[in-house]
Structure 1
Amino acid sequence: MLFDTKPKTRRADLFDFEEEFSRLSRLINDSLTRLIVVRGLRRTGKTSLVLTTLNELGVPYVFIDVREVVRSRRGLYEVLSRALSDFLRRYSLRKALLNSIIKALSGVRGVRVHGVEVSLNWGRDRPLLTELFREFDGVSSSVGVGFVIVIDEAQRLGGSLGIEVWSAVAHAYDFLGNIKFIISGSEMGVLNSILNNPESPLFGRAYAEVITERLSREKSLEFLQRGFSEVGVEVDEGELNEVVDRLDGVIGWLTYYGYSRSVGGRDLTSIFNDAINLAREELENFLKLRVSRRYRVVLKLLASGVREWGLLKRRLEDYEGSPISDRVLHDILTALKMHSIINEELEFTDPIVKEAAREL
């Protein structure tokens, strides 16, 4: 149903993605396309688009979810273990495919398979990612079925772990012909540094893009009206218009509101307060990785409407109690843009995140 807060997996539940669905379907079926990038702002339906398209096409896929920040090799291999276990459970009824994959994985150093549970050693005898990709490529060739490896919210893989993952993807791109990759991401600047930075292992590899967008005001209203109709709940038109005005076409927040309003029977104020608290928690997680408290001050200033460079710098200097260089402010704003918290006009890309920034 439209108001299901989990990522969608059926086309009937995917609202207003006809063009994106068709393009992604063509790219997945195109034998020449090896790397697909699905990008868009947070909560604009990237994961739902990818999962729905793959399920509708019936293409076997491994879904590597790195929405949680992976900071260690142990964390990375735990994520990979879950992804491979989910893969085996998903295709447990396709016996020939299942048995081929289990046999292939069982022969890799550092991999243990118990039924449909996969455990990867993350220590000295850990399996290399290139080995895992090679086994999937081999099974794909033997059973005559293409595989897709999905890395969701790819920008979370940074530092030495990121280099390890992207080097393995680059190797598979160059030498393995039966698997392809879908990389999704919402932090545009970080994603661009993975794909187009000369120092990145993936630099120079051709890729195709699918972009998710906000809903128009008309489509936002249609989404809410259809969603409430599905669950048999009537909501005042004035409230719907207020919600559309405040959520600015971000389908993830529209879904959150629709679910909370129809299932929980909650009032509009409490729903928005909870959404703001959720967004504030995400901002706090971002700020934990920044030593300087200046980021917090700049976010609050931007949320209060201070966007002119000179005024922003003076307000930050007032907080510091001393002059700061232009470079300091430039680096803070660049980081916020890289992570798609603000755009080039120094406006917040998400209206709820803006509200959350006021309360930091």
Structure 2
Amino acid sequence: MASVSVSFPKYMSHIPTRHAGHLAELCIVPRNLSLMKQGSVRELRIVRSSNQTEPLIDCTNKPSDIPLLSCSEATERLKQNREKHKGKQQFLAMYSSIYGGTVTDAAAMAIPMDDHMVHRGHGVFDTAATMNGYLYELEQHFDRIIRSASMAKIVLPFDRETIRRILLQTVSASKCIKGSLRYWISAGPGDFQLSPSGCNQPALYAIVIEDQSLFDSKGIKVVTSSIPIKPPQFATTKSVNYPPNVLSKMEAEEKGAYAAIWLDEDGFVAEGPNMNVAFVTKEKELLMPNFDKILSGCTAKRFLTLAEGLMTAGKLHGIRVDNVSVEEGKRADEMMLIGSGILVRPVVQ
């Protein structure tokens, strides 16, 4: 390997010579170091000890095999990729405030990489079901995303009525009969800094998803999640920051279960990764955990309203939203998961 001369920048001139030698061994390379020689890339190695090296860049004179694509070529590849990986969900229409309009080609449904929601997770979202061509309980979901945006210190890109009109028109353009509308409000694009101060303006995105999967009422197994639950400030905000939720769901799948249920810091039953939990006690009382430390589920609240009819019919003797201990949950006659993606699923194990 050819030797590489390392010269230290001026801001490091105060470092004593004896330490500078150690820095050179660690291969701290200044920005102006050139590794190019006669059109090829030299092999660069990190010195781990006096006699061990690890290659970073392979020595090669071959031209790069990564093509430089035009915009039209990239779009065509996106289309091909969409066709190749079609699933049960189809994306029928997307609105983007960056575009200032709606697109129906899935290949054009994109979000800028420098959007603060993409690289910092600084965004909120919500979902409303589409049933028979109508949006179900849009206002309740809409209230929640506005509340979440306020908690995330994200300014609304438009006034409430304008956002509502955009969402309705996007669903109309999709011609979706059965599916869902998912929409995001982000701090917007601008740069890759931590603070959103460099973002030009907040952004609104909305996508209509057609879902042809059938409703499944089969009983499921749940386990207790070992993944730490989000602190209440973040658990009650419907943000795009979902690593705990994803890891919790993966943990359940690894154990042959449908979902992993979180306990709060006091050991009470909290919620699932993207659904609420409810029980029916032996005394025929509907029992649901408090919403003060978990996400306030729109489907769960609708569930509580419908349950009042079961009380009138004599099938329930009471409804209680309270702390639920693990022991109380295990003693219950019934347990179920509730959410917009699953509606109601009975837990049998």
> Normalised by the size of structure 1, how large is the TM-score?
0.23
Higher strand share: 2
Larger Rg computed on CA atoms: 2
Q: Could you say which structure has the greater relative contact order, defined with CA pairs below 8 angstroms and 6 or more residues apart? A: 1
TM-score by length of 2: 0.24
